[in-house]
Amino acid sequence: MCGRFVIAGNKADLIDAFEVDESVEDEVEPSWNVAPTSTVQIVVERVDPETGELTRRLELARWGLIPSWAKSASVGARMINARSETVLEKPSFRAAALKRRAIVPADGYYEWRKNADGSKTPIYLHGPDGSHLGFAGLYEFWRDPSTASGENPPGSWVVSCTIITRTASDALGEIHDRTPVIVPPDLRGDWLDPRNDTRPAVQGLLDAIPDPELVPRLVGSRVGSVRNDGPDLIEPLPEHA
C-alpha cells in the first residue's frame, strides 16, 4: 500500500519533469510527509472536443477518491489506494479507470516493515537516480452537498484521487506485500491518454508497467506522526548513513 509519500519538488520542477502543458495557478507547498486527505498535485490529460488534441495539465486533488455517487466525502479516507487486480471491476474505481487516469508525482514513499518483536521500522523508498516517480492514479469528480445554498443548489465540485497498487516484487516484498504502480516516462503518455478507454486497453496498460526499481532507506520514527514534516524525515539513520 501507499499511505504516506514525499513530494519535495515545486510546480516548475513538476511541469518540466512531466512535460505539462498547462497548470493551475495554486502552488502546493513541498511536503516530506503527505498524508491521506491532503491536497496533492496530479497530472492528467484532456481531449479538446473541437480539435481532438490532448492537453496535459497539472491539477490539484484531494488524496482519497470520492466516488461520484458517494453521500459523504468521508469515504475518501478509505480509498487512498486501489488494487490493480480489481480496479476495473470495483464500482468505486472502474469508471475512473476507463476515463480518468492520472499520475501522482512523488519523490518517494514510506512503508513500515514489521519486525519479529512486533515493532515496526519506517523505511523510505525512492528511485535510484533521485528523479521524480509517477504513481499510477485515478481521479474523480464529486459534488459536495454541504456547500450548497439557495433553491435547488448543485453544490461545489471536489476533485479527488487514488493511487493504484500491486503485489510487491521479491525485492520489495520483504518490506511490504504491496507497492505503488509506478509509470515509467516512456509509458506516461499511454497511461494518461483518455482515448484508451476500453477494459482490454486499460488492462494492457497495467500489464505493460514494469515492477519499480526502488532503493530502501531506514529513517527515523518521527515520520510516524503526520504533524511532523521537513527534509530531515528522509535522512538515513546515523548507523545506516
Q: Which residues contact 207 (CB under 8 A, 6 or more apart)?
A: none
Q: Is 59 a catalytic residue?
A: no
Nearest to 6 by CA among 135, 147, 154: 135
Contact 97, 88 (CB under 8 A): yes
| Maximum Cα–Cα distance across the chain | 64
The three cell numbers of residue 121 are: 521500522
DSSP 86: T
Distance separating alpha carbons of residues 119 and 144, to the nearest angstrom: 40
Residue with cell string 519506517? 122
Q: Which of these is catalytic: 45, 59, 111, 140?
A: 111
Q: Give the alpha-carbon dihedral of 105, 132, 33, 5, to 10 degrees.
A: 70
Q: Which of these is catalytic: 2, 45, 140, 161?
A: 2
Contact 27, 58 (CB under 8 A): no
Q: Is 111 a catalytic residue?
A: yes
Give the helix/strand (H/E) hosting 57: strand 54-63
Contact 83, 93 (CB under 8 A): no
Residues tagged active-site: 2, 111
